[in-house]
């Protein structure tokens, strides 16, 4: 049998653990349609029926449960290897998952998170997907909703506001030129907003949120951005006020069993301080430059 790409196994784990395509879409950054197609292809490749499909979700067959057990053992072994690697290098590894803009904030303030005096390393993974910590795929995540899993700890760090932005000194783009992330990659509510409210006026779609800011700066059109991103950029201005329906709270989450590890405790506290220091910006309380 030919080798099967490891990401197919990871997608299987997401669907198996979350019981269906819609819930798994929130942790994989893939659409339910794409997940469904990938799982059909995976079953064909592996030569086993893994799921019983119904309107209420996906249930595992006997083969599916057996594969889940095997992969869970592999994950545990991989975790041991990571710990071993950290011990071999004399440095522990702290894995952080953040969305595009929180990742941007962390990177821009990285000396506040990890210094040359620290005896640990950081793996910063940027992804528009739900941070999965229950099975220790990562150590620290930032979420737009309170942790639902019983084995997760969470620290609330304020609210996030959103608005529409355009280039300040460009020719007036008018109300009819909107920028959006394509529907397959529009995971978050603010990324779906243009499709739900300005679908007929979208002139450019991209596959990554980071490009929205760049396109807006070029004068290509109007983009919905977190206020802490748009308001920090003096070349952008708000189009109207805050989009109230998009406001949400924000949490730093971690596995409850790992939160007492010294390096994780240190990094979480530094992230908390950084985000609290930017709380007004996150909440959209500071107006745009010159606005």
Evaluate whether 186 touches 180 at the Cβ level (below 8 Å).
Answer: yes
Evaluate whether 281 touches 178 at the Cβ level (below 8 Å).
Answer: no
**DSSP codes, 223-282:** EEEEHHHHTT-TTEEEEEEE-GGG-EEEEEEEETTTTTSHHHHHHHHHHHHHHHHTHHHH
Mean pLDDT, consecutive 10-residue stretches, the chain (291 aa), reads 73 89 83 92 92 90 92 78 60 88 94 90 82 63 76 89 90 78 91 95 94 94 96 92 95 84 92 94 72 42
**Whole-number pLDDT of residue 187:** 86
HSE toward the beta carbon, residue 20, CA cutoff 13 A: 6
**Whole-number pLDDT of residue 165:** 95
What residue has token string 């990562």? 138
**Whole-number pLDDT of residue 257:** 75
Model pLDDT for residues 188-227, shown as the tens digit of each residue = 999 999 999 999 999 999 999 999 999 999 999 999 999 9
Taking CA 164 as the corner, what is the angle to CA 161 and CA 168, rounded to the nearest 5 degrees?
Answer: 120
- 227's CB contacts (< 8 A; 6+ apart) are 160, 161, 162, 163, 242, 281, 282, 283, 284
**Whole-number pLDDT of residue 1:** 45
**Whole-number pLDDT of residue 174:** 60
Model pLDDT for residues 244-268, shown as the tens digit of each residue = 999 999 999 988 777 788 899 999 9
């Amino acid at each position: 049998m030919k080798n099967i790409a490891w990401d197919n196994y990871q997608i299987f784990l997401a669907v198996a653990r979350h019981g269906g395509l819609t819930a798994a879409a929130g942790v994989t950054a893939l659409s339910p349609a794409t997940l469904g197609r990938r799982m059909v292809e995976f079953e064909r490749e592996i030569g086993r029926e893994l799921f019983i499909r119904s309107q209420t979700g996906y249930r595992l067959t006997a083969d599916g449960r057996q594969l889940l057990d095997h992969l869970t053992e592999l994950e545990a072994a991989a975790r041991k290897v990571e710990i071993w690697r950290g011990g071999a290098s004399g440095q522990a590894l702290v894995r952080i998952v953040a969305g595009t803009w929180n990742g941007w904030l962390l990177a821009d303030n990285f000396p506040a998170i990890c210094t040359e005096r620290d005896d640990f390393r950081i793996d910063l993974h940027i992804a528009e997907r739900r941070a999965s910590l229950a099975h220790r795929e990562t150590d620290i995540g930032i979420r737009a909703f309170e942790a639902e899993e019983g084995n997760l700890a969470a620290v609330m760090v304020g609210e996030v506001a959103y608005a529409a932005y355009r280039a300040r000194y460009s020719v007036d783009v008018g109300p009819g030129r909107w920028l959006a992330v394509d529907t397959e990659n529009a995971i978050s509510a603010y990324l779906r907003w243009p499709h739900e409210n300005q679908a007929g006026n979208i002139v450019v779609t991209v596959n990554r949120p980071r490009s929205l800011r760049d396109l807006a700066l070029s004068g290509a059109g109007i983009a919905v951005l977190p206020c802490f991103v748009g308001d920090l950029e003096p070349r952008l201005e708000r189009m109207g006020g805050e989009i109230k329906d998009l406001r949400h709270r924000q949490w730093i989450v971690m596995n409850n069993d790992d939160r007492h590890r010294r390096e994780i405790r240190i990094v979480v506290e530094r992230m908390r301080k950084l985000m609290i220091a930017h709380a007004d910006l996150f909440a959209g309380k500071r107006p745009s430059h010159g606005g």
